[in-house]
Amino acid sequence: MDLTVRGAVKRFGAVTALAGVDLDVAEGELLTILGPSGSGKTTLLKVVAGFEVPDEGSVQLGSVDVTLAPPRARDVGMVFQNYALFPHLTVAQNVAFPLEMRRVPKAERQSRVAEALALVELSGYEARLPRQLSGGQQQRVALARSIVFNPRLLLLDEPFGALDRKLREAMQLEVRRLQRRLKLTTLFITHDQEEALILSDRIAVMNAGRLEQVGTPSEVYARPATRFVADFVGESNLFDGIAGPDATAEVPGLGRLFLAAQAGTPGARVTLLLRPEALRIGGAADPLANRAAGQVVETVFLGLSVKLRIQPEGGPELLVRLPLRPSEPPPALEGEIVTVGFAPEDVHVIRQA
């Protein structure tokens, strides 16, 4: 393992920012820490970077324990939220800074700066000042500066937050490409679940100072371990119910639902997750084992798909997302009563602690 965090605890006065975090990042892996603000992800990053010392637990880079080491003694490159470029230094001087701090001889410094700038496609911008660059270009400079000294670990702290959507998507792909090409072990911090799904080898979902689940994007999306993960990653229909016999569950308002497997000991409380794209309406719903009738409360046109809110009588509101071809008419109108259905294998069971 390239980065190993064991039992990290960090308190600020009465607030516990990290409540015992264990984390392993493999060599060349891009692991995303995903969590809402205040979940402790920034504190975890600071502990890994060396800006904070954990109250308990340890941080290892490779086989070296760096828990108490200052940032400069760790081989970690970091891209800050607002890039933190040095405004009084040129692009080349910014990128050369970590090399200078490591006493790399001047000739080598120049060639490595040129190399790093070529990697982020900013050759020719050496003499510019950061304020003369666009947001995306500044981001590239920050990236070049953080990888120019071949760090053991790259830390990205919400690096795309300041960019507009188009640019953000382009930069995400570029960072991903670069990270794969250089096989950089990367820890990426974000609160944007969509970004996490796109970029990550694995995602660690963080809440209230703990990691709720660590897994690949598809695992985290399709089989969330906790209700929080199910709710935070992607859109979801979440029902509280009681496990019944023979792979069924009783949900107030929806009646008996058929599941793919036994949900738990009969009578146990369970949470059921149903992703909106798993639902079908009208004729497509007829062959499915779980069905209900409901009124379409709202339809939202999203281009690729259409989102419906359907209210079954006396039951919980259902969020439905249906794919849409450009030539197709909308599948249902607001106010219409439709049949809505879903297959047993599309229901994911979250056992309650």
Torsion angle in degrees (nearest 10) through CA of 10, 28, 91, 163: -70
Per DSSP, the residues of 73-109 read: GS-EEEE-TTTT--TTS-HHHHHHHHHHHTT--HHHH
Q: How far apart are CA 194 and CA 335, in angstroms?
A: 31
What's the min distance (Å) between Cβ of 317 and another protein?
43
* Residue 346, phi then psi, degrees to nearest 5: -85, -5
Q: Are 207 and 39 in contact (CB under 8 A)?
A: yes
What's the min distance (Å) between Cβ of 239 and another protein?
44
Q: How far apart are CA 239 and CA 316, in angstroms?
A: 8
165-182 and 135-147 helices cross at what angle (nearest 10)?
20
What's the min distance (Å) between Cβ of 86 and another protein?
6
- Which of residues 186 and 236 has its CB atom nearest to another protein in the complex? 186
- Which of residues 81 and 311 has its CB atom nearest to another protein in the complex? 81
- Which of residues 142 and 273 has its CB atom nearest to another protein in the complex? 142
What ranges in 206-291 are assigned the alpha helix state H?
217-222, 227-232
- Site for another protein, rule CB under 8 A: 49-51, 70-72, 76-78, 80-88, 97-98, 101-102, 130-131, 138, 145-146, 149
- Which of residues 97 and 160 has its CB atom nearest to another protein in the complex? 97
What's the min distance (Å) between Cβ of 51 and another protein?
6
What's the min distance (Å) between Cβ of 83 and another protein?
7
- Which of residues 80 and 258 has its CB atom nearest to another protein in the complex? 80
Tally Cβ neighbours within 10 Å of residue 81.
14
